[in-house]
C-alpha cells in the first residue's frame, strides 16, 4: 500500500490479534517493545520493508507464533536463540538482511519447523555445528552467507521430507556426506563453494530431483545418476 513511517507502539494494545502483516511497504526504524504483548499472534509478517536494528529477543514470548517473516529488511545483529522457545513455529524467514554471527543450533530442535530461510545475510560459523534432526523440515535455504567447513557425516540422515536445500555461495569444503535418504528432494543447490571429491553415488536415488546445481566447486570423477 506504499505506507511509510515507524510502527506505532499502540498496535501492542490489540491483544486479540492473531495475524499481523504489513509486508511490502516502507516502514523504517525498529520494533516497539509493545508488540511483545501480542501473545495470540500466529502470523507475524513484516517482509520487504526498511526496518532496522536487531531482531528483539522478546519474539520468543509469542508462544503461539507459527510463521515469522522478516525477510527483505535491514536487520543487523544475531539471530535470537529465544526463537527456539516457540514450539509451534513452522516457518522462519529472515533472508535478505544483514544478520551476522552463527546460526543458533537450538532453532533446529523446534519439532514443528517446516521451512527456514536465512539466505543472503552475513551469517558465519562452521556448518558442522548445525545438526538437522527434524523430520518435518521441507525447505532449508542457507545460501549466500559465510558459512565454512565440512558437512557432518550424518547431516542428512533425519530429513525424510526435505524438498528444497540450498547452501550455495558459502565457503563450504570437504566431501559430501551420503544424501540417499533425501528421497523427497526436488531442488539441490551446492554451487559456489569449495566442495571436493566424488559425488555420492546415492544421488542417483533422488528420483524426483528436478534441479541440481554443482557449479564452481572442485568435484571430480564421474557423475553417476543411475
101-156 per-position pLDDT tens digit: 999 989 988 999 999 999 999 999 999 888 788 899 999 999 999 999 999 988 88
**Sheet of 4-5, strands arranged across:** 4-5, 26-29, 50-54, 74-76
Domains of the chain: 1-97 (3.80.10.10), 119-226 (3.80.10.10)
pLDDT at position 180: 86
Longest Cα separation, the chain: 62
| pLDDT single digits (tens) 12-54 | 999 999 999 999 999 999 999 999 999 999 999 999 999 999 9
Q: What is the pTM of this model?
A: 0.95
Asked if 137 and 107 touch (Cβ cutoff 8 Å), the reply is no
| pLDDT single digits (tens) 91-102 | 999 999 999 999
Asked if 72 and 94 touch (Cβ cutoff 8 Å), the reply is no
pLDDT at position 222: 82
- Measuring CA to CA, how many Å separate 16 from each of 10, 33, 37? 13, 17, 10
Q: 129 — phi, psi (to 5°)? A: -80, -10
State the Rg of the chain over Cα.
Answer: 19
Question: Residue 61 and residue 65: Cα distance in Å, rounded?
Answer: 9
Amino acid at each position: 500500500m506504499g505506507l511509510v513511517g515507524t510502527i506505532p507502539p499502540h498496535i501492542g494494545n490489540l491483544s486479540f490479534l492473531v495475524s499481523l502483516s504489513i509486508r511490502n511497504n516502507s516502514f523504517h526504524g525498529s520494533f516497539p517493545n509493545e508488540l511483545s504483548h501480542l501473545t495470540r499472534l500466529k502470523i507475524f509478517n513484516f517482509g520487504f520493508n526498511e526496518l532496522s536494528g536487531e531482531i528483539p529477543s522478546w519474539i520468543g514470548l509469542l508462544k503461539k507464533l507459527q510463521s515469522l517473516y522478516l525477510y527483505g529488511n535491514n536487520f543487523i545483529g544475531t539471530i535470537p536463540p529465544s526463537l527456539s522457545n516457540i514450539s509451534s513455529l513452522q516457518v522462519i524467514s529472515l533472508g535478505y538482511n544483514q544478520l551476522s554471527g552463527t546460526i543458533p543450533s537450538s532453532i533446529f530442535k523446534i519439532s514443528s519447523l517446516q521451512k527456514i530461510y536465512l539466505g543472503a545475510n552475513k551469517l558465519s560459523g562452521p556448518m558442522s555445528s548445525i545438526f538437522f534432526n527434524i523430520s518435518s523440515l521441507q525447505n532449508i535455504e542457507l545460501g549466500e552467507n559465510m558459512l565454512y567447513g565440512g558437512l557432518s557425516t550424518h547431516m542428512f540422515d533425519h530429513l525424510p521430507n526435505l524438498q528444497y536445500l540450498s547452501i550455495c555461495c558459502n565457503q563450504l569444503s570437504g566431501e559430501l556426506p551420503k544424501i540417499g535418504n533425501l528421497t523427497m528432494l526436488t531442488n539441490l543447490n551446492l554451487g559456489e563453494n569449495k566442495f571436493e571429491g566424488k559425488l555420492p553415488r546415492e544421488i542417483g536415488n533422488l528420483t524426483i530431483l528436478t534441479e541440481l546445481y554443482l557449479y564452481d566447486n572442485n568435484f571430480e570423477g564421474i557423475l553417476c545418476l543411475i
